[in-house]
Structure 1
Amino acid sequence: METIIFCGIQATGKSTFYQQHFFHSHLRISLDLFKTRHREDLFLEACCKSQLPFVVDNTNPGKADRQKYIQLAKQHKFRTIGYYFQSRIEEALLRNSQRSGKACIPEIGIRGAFKKLELPSPDEGFDELYYVTIEDNNFVIKPWTNEI
């Protein structure tokens, strides 16, 4: 079974990437949907017990944020794959400004996530790690090289 963990600030394409690459194969775990950690934990537990592959579609800016999911995945013998989304603050703010309603994140929230952002590393426990960029409105996925 497989756990996918997204990492990157808001408005970097994580949810759209999920829709394009994992919608038909993995359950989406997102605080945007569940609203509370308690609900998130219930769905994580259900995925693990039923061996259902899932994607953690949150910002997961720091190593400590990602560790919860990595440990859970390892405990249940899930393969753990990370996707880091290029997080350029000005590009994210521009994309965010094109959103409306609840999808539009307050700028302070994006800047706050950016300040907490720590690049992921294979030594966190990822079995695979990838770097995702957006070029000409398309996602480009590259193997992680520890260089940004």
Structure 2
Amino acid sequence: MECVIFIGIQGSGKTTFYQQSFFKTHMRINLDMLRTRHREDLFLAASLAAVQPFVVDNTNPTLEDRRRYIDLAKKHKFKVIGYYFEPDFELSLARNEKRTGKEKVPVTGIKTTMNRLQMPSYAEGFNELFVVRTEEGKFEVEMLQLL
């Protein structure tokens, strides 16, 4: 089974990528939607117990943010796959401007995440890592090679 972890600033296209690539096969775990870590933990536990593939659709900017998901997934023998959404600050701001209500993130929040963003590595425990770029409105995905 698979634990897919998205890594990227707000407005980088993570949720759209989920909808296009994983909606029919993987459960989506998203802290914005679930609102509390307790609820997130319940969904994680259910996915792991049911051996259900899932996507963690949060910003996950740091190694520490990703560690909890990786450790849990590995403990349950899940394959851990990371998708790093290459930051394009201006494009993310433009996407964010199209959002309404609580979905719209303050610019300072996006800047803060951008400043905290750490490139993931295989040393964290990922089995596979991909870089996602947006080219002319389409997602381009490239596997990161193990160095």
Q: Normalising TM by the smaller chain, what interval?
A: over 0.9
Alpha-carbon distance between aligned partners in 2 of 1:16 and 1:117, rounded to the nearest angstrom: 20
Instruction: Kindly state the Cα deviation for residue 105 of structure 1 after the two structures are TM-superposed.
Output: 0.8
* Counterpart residue number, 1:127: 127
Most deviating of 90-99 and 72-81: 90-99
Aligned sequence identity (%): 52
Q: Partner of 1:81: helix, strand, or coil?
A: strand
Instruction: Kindly state the Cα deviation for residue 144 of structure 1 after the two structures are TM-superposed.
Output: 1.2
Alpha-carbon distance between aligned partners in 1 of 2:76 and 2:118, rounded to the nearest angstrom: 26
1:13-52 paired onto structure 2 within 5 Å: 13-52=13-52
Aligned partner letter, 2:64: A
Which digits, 9 at most, give the CA deviation of each residue in 1:75-117, with x for residues without a partner?
Answer: 0000000000011222211221122222211111111111111
* Counterpart residue number, 2:108: 108
Aligned partner letter, 1:17: F
Aligned partner letter, 2:57: D
Alpha-carbon distance between aligned partners in 1 of 2:101 and 2:36, rounded to the nearest angstrom: 20
Aligned partner letter, 1:107: V
Runs of 4+ in 1 over 3 A off after TM superposition: none
Alpha-carbon distance between aligned partners in 2 of 1:33 and 1:95, rounded to the nearest angstrom: 19
Question: TM-score normalised to the size of structure 1?
Answer: 0.95
Give the length in aligned residue pairs. Answer: 147
* Counterpart residue number, 2:10: 10
Q: CA RMSD in A?
A: 1.3
Is 1:144 the counterpart of 2:147? The answer is no
Q: Which runs of 5+ in 1 are unaligned?
A: none
Alpha-carbon distance between aligned partners in 2 of 1:51 and 1:99, rounded to the nearest angstrom: 34
Q: Which runs of 5+ in 2 are unaligned?
A: none
Question: TM-score normalised to the size of structure 2?
Answer: 0.96
* Counterpart residue number, 2:59: 59
Aligned partner letter, 2:113: A
Q: Partner of 2:58: helix, strand, or coil?
A: coil
